[in-house]
Amino acid sequence: DGGITQSPKYLFRKEGQNVTLSCEQNLNHDAMYWYRQDPGQGLRLIYYSQIVNDFQKGDIAEGYSVSREKKESFPLTVTSAQKNPTAFYLCASSPPLAGGNYNEQFFGPGTRLTVL
């Protein structure tokens, strides 16, 4: 089945450690995104990538890093520099922009990161 997978579903980390969240898609989408969601809040964009080997910072990129070596994969690293990393992390992908309209995004199931 086509879709987006994220792993792990739950992740616990000690303060000061880096951790990498996985995101894989087999939808052949060009664009991929990482969002953070805090309780009772909307989604905030961390990083996005429109093409392999290229990515851009979103609104809250500090303390995070990404790579896009393959079209299917867009891993997110939460570094020790991120001061408040406990959150729900969502990865999404979307097909190319078409006719001036923006295409919808398809989300993975998310990873809940808790810093102990």
Partner 1 sequence: RKEVEQDPGPFNVPEGATVAFNCTYSNSASQSFFWYRQDCRKEPKLLMSVYSSGNEDGRFTAQLNRASQYISLLIRDSKLSDSATYLCVSPYSSASKIIFGSGTRLSIRP
Positions touching partner 1 (CB under 8 A) are 31, 33, 35, 40-45, 48, 50, 56, 58, 88, 90, 97, 100-102, 104-110, 112
Q: Min. distance of Cβ 110 from partner 1 in angstroms?
A: 5
Question: Across the chain, where does the E strand assignment appear?
Answer: 4-7, 10-13, 19-25, 31-37, 43-51, 54-57, 64-66, 76-78, 87-94, 106-107, 111-115
What's the length of the chain? Answer: 116
Q: Min. distance of Cβ 7 from partner 1 in angstroms?
A: 14
Looking at the Cβ atoms of 44 and 80, the one nearer to partner 1 is: 44
Tokens of 9: 């579903």
Q: Min. distance of Cβ 29 from partner 1 in angstroms?
A: 12
